[in-house]
Amino acid sequence: MAILTAACVAIAIIPLLSILYTVTINGISAVNLDFLTQIPRPVGEPGGGLGNAIQGTFIVVGIACLIGLPVGILAGVYLSEYGQNRFGRIVSFVADVLTGTPSIVAGMFGYTFIVLYSGSFSAIAGGVALSVLMIPIVTRTTEESLRLVPGSIKEASLALGIPKWKTTLYIVINTARSGIITGVLLSIARISGETAPLLFTSFGNMFWANGLDKPISTMPVQIYTYAITPFPDWHAKAWGGALILIILILILNIGVRFVTRKKYGM
């Protein structure tokens, strides 16, 4: 039985290895300086790149962070420090359930909430859609890392006559800082690769970004657009984009775990 269960682990790892291998092999030949710095060219014309999509991804994820981080972190602080009541428990549960929101539904929300009213696909609508996915993750991870702060540290601070809000703000949050940052970075990694919410919020654009209220190109959407065309040279671009995106996300994931592990010597 031990062998059988070990085989399950081995088989589950095969797709991961296969994905990493194919993305690297197919992507590496497409990636060069032009690929990172130029905008796409029409099909058939060689050269060009995903520069605008890389730029757009940073902008849209940045907007999502501007909305999602304050809300997520402060809500998490409330839930852990002041949320020992019915309201807190309900919010905590709702945040948990919200983490299961289908990403396409978040996109639809961005569309009906922003695009319909403003009349245009935009970077802002994309950012709002992504923040819907980000907020519950950040809230829950912040809450959990604050709960790990030992009570004795809080008590020591309170015993010195420091009011609770200052204790929370300067002592508790500070102690849990690395845990909060880990959660934030992992949530950024998660939303950076989301495609579905951006299909009809930020939509896409073949040029450099020209305003937050205009359609904007992003890496995942660009990969998708290229992948479903019949053109081999666009397939190559899709693989190249996938490689860059995967490197970005793996750096965030592995980097974060590595750094936090070192710090606590786990």
d(CA 25, CA 239): 9
**What is residue 144's three-state secondary structure?**
helix
How many residues interact with other proteins (rule CB under 8 A)? 86
User: Segment 159-188, which members bind other proteins (CB under 8 A)?
Assistant: 163-166, 168-169
User: Segment 126-155, which members bind other proteins (CB under 8 A)?
Assistant: 132, 135-136, 139
When asked if residue 196 is in the footprint of other proteins (CB under 8 A), the reply is yes
User: Which of the ranges 38-46, 49-57, 88-96, 145-153 carries the binding residues for other proteins, by CB under 8 A?
Assistant: 88-96
Closer Cβ to other proteins, 65 or 223, answer by number: 223
User: Which of the ranges 30-38, 53-61, 175-183, 250-258 carries the binding residues for other proteins, by CB under 8 A?
Assistant: 250-258
When asked if residue 230 is in the footprint of other proteins (CB under 8 A), the reply is no
When asked if residue 125 is in the footprint of other proteins (CB under 8 A), the reply is no
- Size of the chain in residues: 266
> Which among 78, 55, 67 is positioned nearest to 113, based on CA atoms?
67
Q: What is the DSSP string of 199-221?
A: HTTT---SS----TTS----HHH
- Are 60 and 205 in contact, with CB atoms under 8 Å apart? no
When asked if residue 247 is in the footprint of other proteins (CB under 8 A), the reply is no
Q: For other proteins, which residue of 212, 224, 233, 260 counts as binding (CB under 8 A)? A: 224
Q: Which amino acid is at 97?
A: V
When asked if residue 90 is in the footprint of other proteins (CB under 8 A), the reply is yes
Q: For other proteins, which residue of 178, 193, 233, 247 counts as binding (CB under 8 A)? A: 193
d(CA 189, CA 154): 32
- Are 215 and 205 in contact, with CB atoms under 8 Å apart? yes
CB 233 → other proteins: shortest distance, Å?
Answer: 15
205: left (phi over 0), alpha (psi -120 to 50) or beta: beta
User: Segment 46-65, which members bind other proteins (CB under 8 A)?
Assistant: none
When asked if residue 22 is in the footprint of other proteins (CB under 8 A), the reply is yes
d(CA 211, CA 247): 28
